[in-house]
Structure 1
Amino acid sequence: MSIIYSKLTSIINKISDGLHNSFLFTQIFSILGFIENQWVNSYFKKLYPNEEFLNFLNKSNILKNHLFHPLIVLLLFSFFLILSMNPPSKSLVITLLIGFITFFIGSTILPKYFLNNNIKLIEFDKKDIYSIGFCLILISIVFFIICIASIGGIPLLKPSIRYLLKPIFTMPVFLIIPGTCLVAGTYLKDFQMKNITRSQVRFRFLFLLAMNCALLLLLGYRTPLLAALLIIIIIGFYGNIVSLWEVIIGGLIGVGAIIGIGYFRSLGEMTITSSINPFYTLQSRADFTLHVLNLLDFVGGNFGLTHGKLLASSIPGSDLGPRMLVGKIIAWRTEVTVTPTLIGQMVVDFGKIGVAIEMCILGFILGIGFKIMQKSKNYFYIAIYSLILTYSILGIETGILDIQVLSYFAITIFIYLINIKKSKNN
């Protein structure tokens, strides 16, 4: 495995170095360097509130040290359920309790038995990680241009053409999110080594976020944009780059973006009128998703209906994607995609038993990641924890069903297991 990794990173490093040394990228990075210097030395930057702003927030140990603990998934899931205008069925309440309890066990109790002494972590070369992230971002930019050219317009300005986008072109665009995660992680490493100042790394984080906004917002996507925002916030928070009050403000901006984009997109598609409360789009979405979950819980029962077929439908080449399969299960309509929530796939595939096992596993992955991150303060492990926590939070509504997201979890699990085995042997 190490030989494959070495050869792969060698090729990627050569591509990255070649692009960085090209005339085009030399000029781009020269311009960005100039803008960064202007930012760092700007007089107006001094008007921005410092770290002591709203300092009373730092007195809370939970906010300061455990804000992005895995249990935030349960907290936000509960909030999402409360948003719904209709209550869950009694059977679904039991399913949710099973999922919440087993997630708590997996994220909070089980990690206590691992990585307690002599932790030996795999060390990844910063240059390799940067090159991989840089190449992923470039791929996403190329496919963004292809997407715009293929539909002949910008979906944000003309929402109706968004449905002309083809997954084969849009999926590579979403690679900007793990790419941003890895590149931001390497900037954090430079900051930790004092190669760049806090102002410089904050500027670079803002630039990465702006680039994500430019690509994802123009395509009319909300969830991936929120993913980029969450990743930047989590890495910045645990890397002492972003203050607690900025995290809270950033979270509010993220929620506002979801509501705002959804509201104006609904107006453009004429699914609502301007007289309707903007919060209605969020409430109706939660209500519909909970209704779907009620139906999935009914058909899933205790032992499931599809026995893994829903998860397997994430594999490219399947007749129906996972969310289309959900649409077929609950309404016999394969032309629509339906979000099943975090536990929807679990209960349809394997019932309440599946919810118990899969939620425990998910909790354990996040719990181990959080423990490694807190103990090591390593830039790479902060980055990958931010990636899997982000998609776990977003999966509260959408589920963890996209093949690229599943691959992020698979790679992360593999790395964590090697670290557990390596630490145990030492």
Structure 2
Amino acid sequence: MNLKKIDFFNPLIIVVAILVFLVMGYIGSFDYRFEDPLNMNVFLIIIFACILFSGGFLIIKNKIKVENTREINFISEKLLIILVLIALVLQTLNIVLIGGIPLFNSVLKSNATTNIWRVAYPLFLIMINILLAKYYNKKYLILVALGALIFGLNGYRTSVLGILGSSFITLYYLGKISKKIGILFIAVMVIGLMAIGYIASQSIANQHWTLNPAQLVFYRAAFTLEVFEKIIPLAGSTNGHILSMIFSSGSPRTFIGEYVLHYTVCLTSTLFGPVTLDFGLIGLAIQMLFMGAFMGMLYKLKKGIGIGIYSIILIHTLIWIETGPTDIMIWFLYLLGLILIIINRNYIKLNKN
């Protein structure tokens, strides 16, 4: 097998990541804090979901061809830099207005995702990746590192993973990542994410964690999958309420905590939990087919700024494996991908071969 010919970031990496997460969760579920290991239904449904995702991707891969992509020339390098800097200033202002560093204070962390953050984070994420994809320069990696640091102070690993992960994938497709640099980057990112998660867990009031950073990762995977296990018997019982909350008001994750565990807590429930609770296995099947086909189409459009957009959506879909698709802001990124598809619609053809 020639490793140089393998594309490590094609959409099927999502299936690989799901299976790794499932194994980690199963190992973690043997911890004494859990009544029983994960049951077979969890495995069967998640494997079913992976098959459907793969099917959606392979249909697009084999049936659709892209003859070219439309070049976007109206976004200048200077404008992109200005927008990146504005996003960093906004997030810095956000931390100042909160009154401290949320990473070290659970009360501040619970209030850290303000409207300012909701503008700053996607603005930075989108603009830094388009800047790298369209006008790559080594000096822009300083902005990536600065963004990861400033947004990481919010105490949420997902922001850091979103910035570093998407930038890494963008650089990978630009051919700017050597094997040594790639391995070093991934190692630093993994250690950094574990550190953020551990520090944030230690700052939670009324909770006293005895787990080390590595144990905490397995515990989190197991707990999230256990939430999905408890959702399975309730499949389809919320009749779209979670979906309506995503696009209106309220906290879908808190609702899931109250509905499934019967106490007020903000829960992650895997990529599969919210749709299963809302629409049952049929809804899950539709979601996974859609995601597979959608990621497959974006994969074919990864040229120019399309590289940046694909990288952003891929990394956040990977993040969704744990957190679940309950953030309207990330669905906005999917909308960005849809816009890219519409812009290039004249180049998308049915493969007759």
Asked if Structure 1 and Structure 2 have the same fold, meaning a TM-score greater than 0.5 normalized by the shorter chain, the answer is: yes
Task: For 1:401 and 1:268, locate their aligned partners in 2 and report how far apart those are by CA, in whole Å.
Answer: 25
Q: CA deviation at 1:230?
A: 0.8
The corresponding residue for 2:97 is: 150
Residues 363 and 245 of structure 1: CA distance in aligned 2, closer, same or farther (over 3 Å): farther
Letter in 2 for 1:323: R
Match of 1:218 among 144, 153, 165: 153
Are the aligned partners of 2:309 and 2:336 in contact in 1 as well (CA < 8 Å)?
A: no
- Asked if residue 407 in structure 1 is aligned to residue 339 in structure 2, the reply is no
Are the aligned partners of 1:235 and 1:386 in contact in 2 as well (CA < 8 Å)?
A: yes
- Asked if residue 289 in structure 1 is aligned to residue 214 in structure 2, the reply is no
Task: For 1:408 and 1:342, locate their aligned partners in 2 and report how far apart those are by CA, in whole Å.
Answer: 16
SS in 2 for 1:174: helix
1:170-319 matches, cutoff 5 A: 170-175=117-122, 176-188=124-136, 201-204=137-140, 206-269=141-204, 271-272=207-208, 276-300=211-235, 304-315=236-247, 317-318=248-249
Q: Which consecutive unaligned segments of at least 5 residues does structure 2 have?
A: 30-36
Q: CA deviation at 1:214?
A: 2.7
Match of 1:110 among 60, 64, 75: 60
The structure with the largest alpha-carbon Rg is 1
Task: For 1:122 and 1:305, locate their aligned partners in 2 and report how far apart those are by CA, in whole Å.
Answer: 44
Task: For 1:409 and 1:269, locate their aligned partners in 2 and report how far apart those are by CA, in whole Å.
Answer: 32
The corresponding residue for 2:40 is: 90
Q: CA deviation at 1:167?
A: 2.8
Letter in 1 for 2:295: L
The corresponding residue for 2:10 is: 69
Are the aligned partners of 1:391 and 1:400 in contact in 2 as well (CA < 8 Å)?
A: no
Residues 236 and 214 of structure 1: CA distance in aligned 2, closer, same or farther (over 3 Å): same
Deviations 1:77-127 (A, max 9, x none): 1111111222433332232122111111111233211116xx1422211x4
Task: For 1:336 and 1:134, locate their aligned partners in 2 and report how far apart those are by CA, in whole Å.
Answer: 39
Are the aligned partners of 1:344 and 1:399 in contact in 2 as well (CA < 8 Å)?
A: yes
Residues 339 and 243 of structure 1: CA distance in aligned 2, closer, same or farther (over 3 Å): same
Identity of aligned residues (%): 27
SS in 2 for 1:112: helix
Q: CA deviation at 1:247?
A: 2.1
TM-score with structure 2 length normalisation?
A: 0.87
Task: For 2:271 and 2:77, locate their aligned partners in 1 and report how far apart those are by CA, in whole Å.
Answer: 31
Give aligned pairs, total: 340
Deviations 1:184-225 (A, max 9, x none): 22223xxxxxxxxxxxx2232x21222212311222221111
The corresponding residue for 1:322 is: 252
Are the aligned partners of 2:254 and 2:265 in contact in 1 as well (CA < 8 Å)?
A: yes
Q: Which consecutive unaligned segments of at least 5 residues does structure 1 have?
A: 1-59, 189-200
The corresponding residue for 1:13 is: none
Are the aligned partners of 1:231 and 1:390 in contact in 2 as well (CA < 8 Å)?
A: yes
Are the aligned partners of 1:71 and 1:104 in contact in 2 as well (CA < 8 Å)?
A: yes
SS in 2 for 1:202: coil
- Asked if residue 163 in structure 1 is aligned to residue 95 in structure 2, the reply is no
RCO greater where, 1 or 2, for CA within 8 Å and sep 6 or more? 2
Letter in 1 for 2:315: T
Letter in 1 for 2:70: I
SS in 1 for 2:138: helix
SS in 2 for 1:115: strand
Residues 276 and 415 of structure 1: CA distance in aligned 2, closer, same or farther (over 3 Å): closer
Task: For 1:351 and 1:73, locate their aligned partners in 2 and report how far apart those are by CA, in whole Å.
Answer: 22
Q: Tell me how large the CA RMSD over aligned residues is.
A: 2.4
Are the aligned partners of 1:309 and 1:349 in contact in 2 as well (CA < 8 Å)?
A: yes
Residues 401 and 268 of structure 1: CA distance in aligned 2, closer, same or farther (over 3 Å): closer
Match of 1:100 among 42, 50, 57: 50
- Asked if residue 382 in structure 1 is aligned to residue 307 in structure 2, the reply is yes
Q: CA deviation at 1:144?
A: 1.8
Task: For 1:62 and 1:297, locate their aligned partners in 2 and report how far apart those are by CA, in whole Å.
Answer: 39
Residues 306 and 229 of structure 1: CA distance in aligned 2, closer, same or farther (over 3 Å): same
Residues 394 and 131 of structure 1: CA distance in aligned 2, closer, same or farther (over 3 Å): farther
Letter in 1 for 2:131: V
Q: CA deviation at 1:166?
A: 4.9
The corresponding residue for 2:284 is: 355
SS in 2 for 1:249: helix
Deviations 1:153-205 (A, max 9, x none): 122344543223353232223122122112222223xxxxxxxxxxxx2232x
1:362-373 matches, cutoff 5 A: 362-373=291-302
Match of 1:343 among 247, 251, 272: 272
Are the aligned partners of 1:64 and 1:244 in contact in 2 as well (CA < 8 Å)?
A: no
Letter in 2 for 1:88: L
Residues 247 and 424 of structure 1: CA distance in aligned 2, closer, same or farther (over 3 Å): same
TM-score with structure 1 length normalisation?
A: 0.73
Deviations 1:131-166 (A, max 9, x none): 664454344334323322322212234454322335
Task: For 1:159 and 1:360, locate their aligned partners in 2 and report how far apart those are by CA, in whole Å.
Answer: 38
Task: For 1:306 and 1:130, locate their aligned partners in 2 and report how far apart those are by CA, in whole Å.
Answer: 47
